[in-house]
Amino acid sequence: TITETEVFKLLTTLKTSKATGHDRISAKLLKDSADVITETLTQIFNKSVLLGKFPDDMKVAIISPIYKTGSKTETTNYRSLSVLSVVAKIFEKMISQLSNYLETNGVIVKQH
């Protein structure tokens, strides 16, 4: 189970200089409203874990080509930069923490 304390901690430690995803919800907005949205966000995350579903909206990324070096006309001289929703990143961190906890305590076997 994901707790409100864990979600609140992540919300209040967000770096506010990061780019927003397609939903245009900024890290600053989430951080500033942490005390108001923590309970609801925690419920959404736990429901997602319980159902084994991740909302389609949170799977969308803005992908931009970033020039590396060489000829700008060669596609191989670019790398992609994917910007996810801040809420999706928070959920990803929560799942990672939950997975690490379950592995550490022998509830699940570590996958390679």
Q: Residue 43 pLDDT > 80, yes or no?
A: yes
Helix (H, G, I), strand (E, B) or coil at 80: strand
Range with the largest mean pLDDT of 8-12, 50-54, 57-61, 97-101: 8-12
Q: How many Å separate Cα 30 from the centre of its chain? A: 12
Q: What is the pLDDT of residues 68-100, one digit of tens each?
A: 999 999 999 999 999 999 999 999 999 998 888
Residue-averaged pLDDT of the chain: 92
Residue 112's pLDDT is 60
- What average pLDDT does the segment 27-50 reach? 96
3-state SS, residue 74? coil
Q: What is the band of 7 on the pLDDT scale with cuts at 50, 70, 90?
A: very high
**Which tokens in the block code for residue 84?**
């996810």
